[in-house]
Amino acid sequence: MNTTIRQRDNGKYQAIISYKVNGLWKQKSKGGFDRVSDAKKWAKETSFDLVEIERQGIIDSDMTIGELFDVYIDNLVLLRRSNSRITGVKTTKKFFEPFRNTKVKNLNAFEVKKHIINRQKATGYSYKSMTNFFISILNFAVKELKVIYTNPIDSMKIDFEKRDNREKFITKEVYESILKDLPRDIYKLYVRTLYETGMRKNELMGLTIFDIKDGYIKVNHQLDPKTNTLVKLKTNNSYRTIPINKDLEKALLSQIPNIDGRIFYDFCSETVYKYLKKYKASLHCFRHTFATNLVSSGIDLTIASQIIGDNIKTILNIYTQVNEDKKKNEYNKVRAIF
């Protein structure tokens, strides 16, 4: 790699960097500097990126974001990933449509962040899953396609939870309406299990027939949707045992599992989520509802925290919502005192 600083006829300075990509010499330059030191500073900062490009053998590509999505989808088809996962990527492509013609190497993290936050404000949805999909696709561009050497949005910070104004507590009536709307029995069972166990969506996607026995579910792993493999849970509190009724146990064990024993495997959670949107609900709202129902029913907080897999403070501050029926009953108790 070579750097040349030269003065143009207008008196301004230009920095020129010569570097190799796949054995071919390329040049990157910038002019308009008033001082030699400014030109050298730019050349030094830019050289760090170019050295990494040389070292990793990054291809000098003009691939656009739209083209990257198409290649990624072709890769999923080649790997025989589920149709629901492919549909999820196509939905993500549509969400990031404003960047369709942007070159991958020119993608700006701030512009992506601004797009996501504006959509959050407009709809009330978090778009966390789509953002994670996009991060995975850009990682694919880094590791397999080698069209960029680093993921520009990998460290992007967005507060998904606080911008999510969807319902946290689902009433029995809304829950039953959701079940009626779901077109497949396996979707109904997935939502029912969320509602009756408070499991996180990927914990349930990773549930196997070996985790269910004698009226209990042992939660000891979760599905990594990026690799479609079972992985460890994030915290020690997440490892837990959940009691379930015999009817749910029978329904779960009557399903035909895949080779790994997984019960929910031929769809992704985002496929189910799209049926919840009309109710302003999310998959995680069933966890909030479960925690609220436990506490409202008088279950000891220590036991409730063990079943839910979070500490008591988290349950009280985040998960529990006011159950209106319970609230009315408690008001009547207050009246009866006096």
For 314-335, what is each residue's pLDDT tens digit? 777 766 665 566 666 767 777 6
- Judge whether 182 and 150 are in contact, CB under 8 Å: no
Phi, psi for residue 4 in degrees, rounded to 5: -125, 135
What is the C-alpha separation between 218 and 205, in angstroms, rounded?
Answer: 14
What is the C-alpha separation between 316 and 302, in angstroms, rounded?
Answer: 12
Q: Inform me whether the pLDDT recorded for 287 exceeds 80.
A: yes
What is the C-alpha separation between 277 and 119, in angstroms, rounded?
Answer: 15
Task: Supply the pLDDT for residue 18.
Answer: 79
Mean pLDDT of the chain: 86
- Judge whether 167 and 281 are in contact, CB under 8 Å: yes
Task: Supply the pLDDT for residue 2.
Answer: 76
Element (H, E) at 7: strand 2-7
Q: Both tokens of residue 127?
A: 């778009």
What is the C-alpha separation between 286 and 270, in angstroms, rounded?
Answer: 15
What is the C-alpha separation between 253 and 261, in angstroms, rounded?
Answer: 10
pLDDT digits (tens, 9 = 90+) for 102-159: 999 999 999 999 999 999 888 777 888 899 999 999 999 988 888 888 899 988 888 7
Q: Both tokens of residue 283?
A: 């998959």
Task: Supply the pLDDT for residue 56.
Answer: 55
Task: Supply the pLDDT for residue 60.
Answer: 61
Task: Supply the pLDDT for residue 324.
Answer: 60
Beta-strand runs (E) in 216-308: 216-219, 222-224, 229-231, 240-243
pLDDT digits (tens, 9 = 90+) for 56-105: 555 567 889 999 999 999 989 888 887 778 888 999 999 999 999 999 99
Q: SS3 for 171?
A: coil
Q: SS3 for 162?
A: coil
Element (H, E) at 308: helix 301-308
What is the C-alpha separation between 272 and 277, in angstroms, rounded?
Answer: 10
Q: What percent of the chain has pLDDT over 90?
A: 49
pLDDT digits (tens, 9 = 90+) for 150-169: 899 988 888 776 555 667 88
Task: Supply the pLDDT for residue 24.
Answer: 65
Q: Choose between 271 and 182: higher pLDDT.
A: 182
Task: Supply the pLDDT for residue 47.
Answer: 75
In order of 108, 188, 263, the CA distances from 174 in angstroms are 41, 14, 25
Phi, psi for residue 121 in degrees, rounded to 5: -65, -35
Task: Supply the pLDDT for residue 322.
Answer: 55
pLDDT digits (tens, 9 = 90+) for 214-265: 999 999 999 988 788 999 998 899 999 999 999 999 999 999 999 999 999 9
Is this structure's pTM higher than 0.75? no
Mean pLDDT of 275-299: 89
Name the burial class of residue 180, with classes exposed (0-12), middle (13-18) and buried (19+) by CB atoms within 10 angstroms of its CB.
exposed
